[in-house]
Amino acid sequence: MTELYVYVYSSSGFLKISINANGGMFWEKCMKVADFIINYLAGCGIREVFVVYGAANGDLIDAFTRTTAIRYVAVMHEQAGGFAAEGYAKVSGNFGVAIATSGPGGGNFVTPIQNCFYDSVPCLFITGQINSQFLRPDPCIRQIGFQETDIVGTVRGITKYAVMIRNPMNIKYELQKALYLMKDGRPGPVLIDIPLDVQKKDIDDVSLLMSFSPHSKDDVPDYDIECIDKQIDECCKDLGCAERPVMLIGGGVRIAQAVDELIMCADILNIPVFPTWNALDVVTSDLPYYGGRVGTYGGPGRNFGIQNSDLLIGIGTRISGRITGGNVKSFARGAKKYVVDVDKALLRREFQQVPCDVNIYCDAKVFLERMITRITKFPIRRDFSMWLRKVIDWREKYDPVKAEHFSRGDIVDPYVFFRILSEEMREQDILVGDCGGNIVASNHAFKTKRGQRNITNNGNSPMGFSFAASMGAWFAAEKNRTVVCTIGDGGFTMNSQEVQTFLNYGVGVKTFIIDNRIYGITKAFQEVNFNGRSEACGPKGYNPPDFVRLCGKGYGMRTFVIERNSHIRLIIREVLNTEGPVVCVVQCSEYHTYEPKIVGWKTPIEDMYPYLSREEFKANMIIDPLPGWEDPEMPKGGSEGSERESR
């Protein structure tokens, strides 16, 4: 009889209770390293860990059999497991965890780790490693053991901390250190690599494990509160003199758990507030001061509000090139610019794409709390209602979803689909979007509601993200929240194997495949840059499968199809009301017109294509247009007479 054992937590720590071959029971105050890790994660509130089994992580996976406080979710591919961990973290407010084996298993974590690093997502990636005796003794040797890979060296540049555990007695210290660094300051991913023999080691007395304790100076934010208050005073004085102030809000506000503070501050100031794509569920479309969407693909308002501003307050945003366009000096060029960020490097003027006038090193929550105190005690005696009304007029007049979108009867127009989907989803629901043309259409057309989550990965933006991430979101969410995944045909193909994971675990995500049979955003790019030659993005070269056959007949998942605009609302309702996992194919044959957008690197973001008549454009400009506005750059191969139109 094999020895059976379980770990029980008592007032004196973890006890290993064993039953030997003779049926005798005994206990000892020890624990395997693998069991310590899994139990420690359970103690941190983690309920699910996304795994792919391999020999090098076998003891870690086996440890789940000795606890009911945490479970594994066995996915079909390590990349999907990493994406699921990111979705779990973004919805739960806790961190996400994924486990892979050595060599190719850890290698498949690279893209999810990039995701978390660039989008500031706290995730713990654990990799099994080969037995210590087979590790290469020196970097000059490429490999000794089978599936040996220096995963720590591979990911060091895209993690906040990465370490291999060689001494079992260091496990508590290194685990606590990794989790601390993961959340300290600007969050991000960490990786722990554990050789197989270390996983198996017994810790004779868990209470003797060394703990990690941050140095006191490291545990207290080094914000200069006196300096911050002076900068807030300066900002308030500028608000008192400004005529057209705006706020630009990035994902850092949610990361700082400062959404309520932002809403309170905006309520008091009553000025236009614009979200970046990482903050669409922070500054939602139903807020009275929501100004529209901004950037190279613009959206409601065509960027007129932010470009005509004379004071810009950016909070939790790095003001990236997707916001500014290629002509970075033209961004909000008439405005004095403040930016608040917890990342010191982003506040160094030599590193800023858009040099800001006042750089405030501060957590977004701390800044907003102190700002609220200041403007409550000393109100700003300015009425910005006329300016706010002007911005809202732009937002409503220049809605990307137009009457002609609804008139198409032959296929589904994705702009109509996303607008109706936004109307049918509830305040507590969660939308997980992918990348490429489908996320542009979504961000143009989907109107967010307060309480919803709108999740994607914007920094790395990999195809196939949303299907796996929606799985993590579903596990993390309260069960009264519907999780909806939207993804293109190209993205779905890259992680379609996870259909089986959805079925294995009853993952009740409602997935809509925006099936235009091409790589839409790249086809549009090719038409502008390669004289219309569309290589390897469809229909030449790239040809995706029949998703109804793949998901329905192949995997046995419930499937739906939307073929016309007139069918959209009815079938969306049916999909949302269907129990369990569902895939709905939205047929948008070769659609790849994502507008408005910026044409060329020199065009300022207020002059979006399709161009307004030059008279209408000039009438919308409060600041001076840039030289050359009379003759804007055209898409290559376009017809000037048909490209300009009056809106």
Q: Residue 641: its pLDDT value, please?
A: 33
Q: 315 and 250 in contact (C-beta within 8 Å)?
A: yes
Q: 51 and 220 in contact (C-beta within 8 Å)?
A: no
> CA nearest 177: which of 191, 158, 196?
191
- φ, ψ dihedrals at 371, nearest 5°: -65, -45
CA distances from 219 to 136, 152, 157, 213, 615 (A): 36, 25, 23, 9, 57
pLDDT tens digits along 147-194: 888 999 999 999 999 999 999 999 999 999 999 999 999 999 999 999
Name the CATH superfamily for 33-214. Answer: Thiamin diphosphate (ThDP)-binding fold, Pyr/PP domains (3.40.50.970)
Q: Residue 146: its pLDDT value, please?
A: 82
Q: How far apart are the C-alpha atoms of 83 and 74, rounded to whole Å?
A: 13
Q: Which two tokens stand for residue 323?
A: 């916001």
Residue 639: which pLDDT band, with cuts at 50, 70 and 90?
Answer: very low
Q: Which two tokens stand for residue 466?
A: 């949303």
385 pLDDT more than 70: yes
Q: Which helix (H) or strand (E) holds 385?
A: helix 385-397
Residue 411: which pLDDT band, with cuts at 50, 70 and 90?
Answer: confident
Q: Report which of residues 531 and 46 the model is more confident about.
A: 46
Which DSSP symbol is given to 297? T
What residue has token string 């009457």? 403
Q: Residue 133: its pLDDT value, please?
A: 85
Residue 324: which pLDDT band, with cuts at 50, 70 and 90?
Answer: very high
Q: Report which of residues 20 and 338 the model is more confident about.
A: 338
Q: Which fold has domain 225-397?
A: Rossmann fold (3.40.50)
Is omega for the bond preceding 139 within 30 degrees of 0, making it cis? Answer: no
307 pLDDT more than 50: yes
Q: How far apart are the C-alpha atoms of 576 and 508, rounded to whole Å?
A: 10
332 pLDDT more than 70: yes
Q: Report which of residues 16 and 417 the model is more confident about.
A: 417
Residue 416: which pLDDT band, with cuts at 50, 70 and 90?
Answer: very high
In the chain, how long is the greatest CA-to-CA distance? 93
29 pLDDT more than 80: no
The residue ranges of every structural domain in the chain are 33-214, 225-397, 403-587
Q: Residue 139: its pLDDT value, please?
A: 87
Q: Residue 144: its pLDDT value, please?
A: 84
Q: Residue 1: its pLDDT value, please?
A: 47
Which range has the worst mean pLDDT, 277-291, 474-488, 623-637?
Answer: 623-637
Q: Residue 7: its pLDDT value, please?
A: 59
Bridge partners, 433 (sequence order): 486
Q: 126 and 60 in contact (C-beta within 8 Å)?
A: yes
Label residue 255 exposed, middle or buried (CB < 10 Å: 0-12, 13-18, 19+): buried
24 pLDDT more than 90: no
3 pLDDT more than 70: no
- Looking at residues 360-383, what average pLDDT do you find? 96
Residue 15: which pLDDT band, with cuts at 50, 70 and 90?
Answer: low
Residue 12: which pLDDT band, with cuts at 50, 70 and 90?
Answer: very low
Q: 264 and 372 in contact (C-beta within 8 Å)?
A: yes
Sheet holding 161-164, edge to edge: 71-74, 48-51, 96-100, 123-129, 190-195, 161-164
pLDDT tens digits along 230-272: 999 999 999 999 999 999 999 999 999 999 999 999 999 999 9
Tell me which amino acid residue 194 is.
Answer: I
Q: 252 and 342 in contact (C-beta within 8 Å)?
A: yes
- Looking at residues 113-135, what average pLDDT do you find? 94
Q: 114 and 179 in contact (C-beta within 8 Å)?
A: no
- Looking at residues 491-512, what average pLDDT do you find? 98
Q: What's the whole-number average pLDDT of the chain?
A: 92
Residue percentage of the chain with pLDDT more than 90: 82
414 pLDDT more than 70: yes
- Confirm whether 225-397 and 403-587 share one CATH topology: yes
- Looking at residues 95-107, what average pLDDT do you find? 97
What is 403-587's CATH number? Answer: 3.40.50.970
Q: Residue 646: its pLDDT value, please?
A: 31
pLDDT tens digits along 446-498: 999 999 999 999 999 899 999 999 999 999 999 999 999 999 999 999 999 99
Q: 417 and 406 in contact (C-beta within 8 Å)?
A: no
Q: Residue 527: its pLDDT value, please?
A: 83
- Looking at residues 208-233, what average pLDDT do you find? 85
Q: Residue 484: its pLDDT value, please?
A: 98
Q: Which two tokens stand for residue 70?
A: 């945490």
11 pLDDT more than 50: no
- φ, ψ dihedrals at 549, nearest 5°: -65, -45
Q: Residue 190: its pLDDT value, please?
A: 98
pLDDT tens digits along 512-565: 999 999 899 888 888 888 877 889 988 899 999 999 999 999 999 999 999 999
